[in-house]
Structure 1
Amino acid sequence: MHIKRFSDAKPYEAANHRGVVGLRLQGFEDGGPTNQWVGLSQFLPGGGAGADSTPFEKVYVVLEGEMTVIVDGHESVLRALDSCTIPPGEVREIENRSNHVCKMLVVIPYPPGAKP
């Protein structure tokens, strides 16, 4: 078993994101997961991520607040404990349109060639 305390989580920068602080909860460390990493994204009101896609799927789980996810012009609002899977290659945009911080768990496979 690999335990990592929240107090030991390190911030990370996510490309094409705004108004967010990301903390890596698990991954890219000795003894950690070998096929994915887990982040906690804390989005301020108005924060989000521009239209983008990745070559691998990702999972979002809203823990607190709400997040609008936009795919092909269709908007879906995720609230506490709602989740979604973004398939590989699907272009998505996300935006916190509320006046509350949105806390979101993000689970993403390691990029090709990345060493856990």
Structure 2
Amino acid sequence: MDIGEKLKKVRKIRKYRLKDLAEKTNLSISYLSDIENGRSTPPLQTLQILCETLDIPMYELFREIEPMLVKETARNQELYALLEDFNEWDEGDKNELLSYLRAKRSARKETPDKAEK
């Protein structure tokens, strides 16, 4: 899978249309389409803008082996949908969720992996 195909895959996972990505990056729809379809090779600065907008590390574009990003699963899609309006939540709700997630992470780190037993 080449860089353009990977960008297209991520864009679709994020549920962005080309128009959405163009608006967020100030790049033209036709240029983005050319990148995704292998007709244009963007400079690193453009790749950086695209990766920041799509919220992926740039190195993922250069990996040869899948899986890239987070595997698209129903559970991940549900999580993205639930967090879609996170920025609009009141601070108390944001802090409550973040505290819960931190506690879960801490508990997982303290619990030995079953494979290690």
TM range (shorter): under 0.3
Of structures 1 and 2, the one scoring higher in RCO (CA 8 A, sep 6+) is 1
TM-score, structure 2 as length reference? 0.21
* More strand per residue: 1
More helix, by proportion: 2
